[in-house]
Amino acid sequence: MRPDPDLDLVERVEGRTRLLVPAASLGGGPPPKSPAFFNPLAAVTRDFAVLFYGARYRGSSARLLDALCGVGARGIRVANESGADILVHLNDANPTAAGIARRNCDLNGLGDRCAVSSEDANALMYGSLRSGPRFDAIDVDPFGSPVPFVDAAVSTVRPGGIVALTATDLSALTGRSRSSGRRKYFLSLHPTDFSREVAARALAAYGVIRAAAAERGARPVFAHVDSQYLRVYLEIRGHARAADESLDRLGHLGYCPTCLYRGVMDPGRGHRCPVCGGELLELGPLWLGELFDEQQLKGMLAMSDGMGWAARSKLLGRALADAGLPPYYYALDRIADSLGTCVPRLDRLLESLASKGYRAVRSWAHELGVKTDAPHQLFVEEVRRLSSCRGAASPAPPRRARCSGACSPSASPRGPPRTISSPSPGSRPARRPGTP
Ligand SMILES: C[S@@+](CC[C@H](N)C(=O)[O-])C[C@H]1O[C@@H](n2cnc3c(N)ncnc32)[C@H](O)[C@@H]1O
Ligand SMILES: [Zn+2]
Position in ligand 1 atom list of the atom nearest CA 148: 19
Establish whether residue 44 lines the binding site of ligand 1, counting it when its CB lies within 6 angstroms of any ligand atom: no
The identity of residue 103, as a single letter, is R
Please state the length of the chain: 436
Answer whether 162's CB lies under 8 Å from 56's CB: yes
Domains in the chain, CATH or no CATH each: 9-250 (3.40.50.150), 329-436 (3.30.56.70)
User: Ligand 2: distance of its center to the CA of 310 in Å?
Assistant: 39
Sequential pLDDT tens for the chain (436 residues): 444 557 899 999 999 999 999 999 998 889 999 999 999 999 999 999 999 999 999 999 999 999 999 999 999 999 999 999 999 999 999 999 999 999 999 999 999 999 999 999 999 999 999 987 899 999 999 999 999 999 999 999 999 999 999 999 999 999 999 999 999 999 999 999 999 999 999 999 999 999 999 999 999 999 999 989 999 999 999 899 999 999 999 999 999 999 999 999 987 778 999 999 999 999 999 999 999 999 999 999 999 999 999 999 999 999 999 999 999 999 999 999 999 999 999 999 999 999 999 999 999 999 999 999 999 999 999 999 999 775 544 444 334 434 434 444 343 333 433 556 544 333 333 333 333 3
User: Ligand 1: distance of its center to the CA of 209 in Å?
Assistant: 24
DSSP H or E run through 18:
strand 17-22
Establish whether residue 120 lines the binding site of ligand 1, counting it when its CB lies within 6 angstroms of any ligand atom: yes
User: Ligand 2: distance of its center to the CA of 257 in Å?
Assistant: 7
Bridge-based pairing state of the strands 217-225 and 360-362: unpaired
Helices (H) and strands (E) in the chain, counts: 14, 15
pTM for the structure as a whole: 0.91
Phi, psi torsion values for 326, nearest 5 degrees: -60, 160
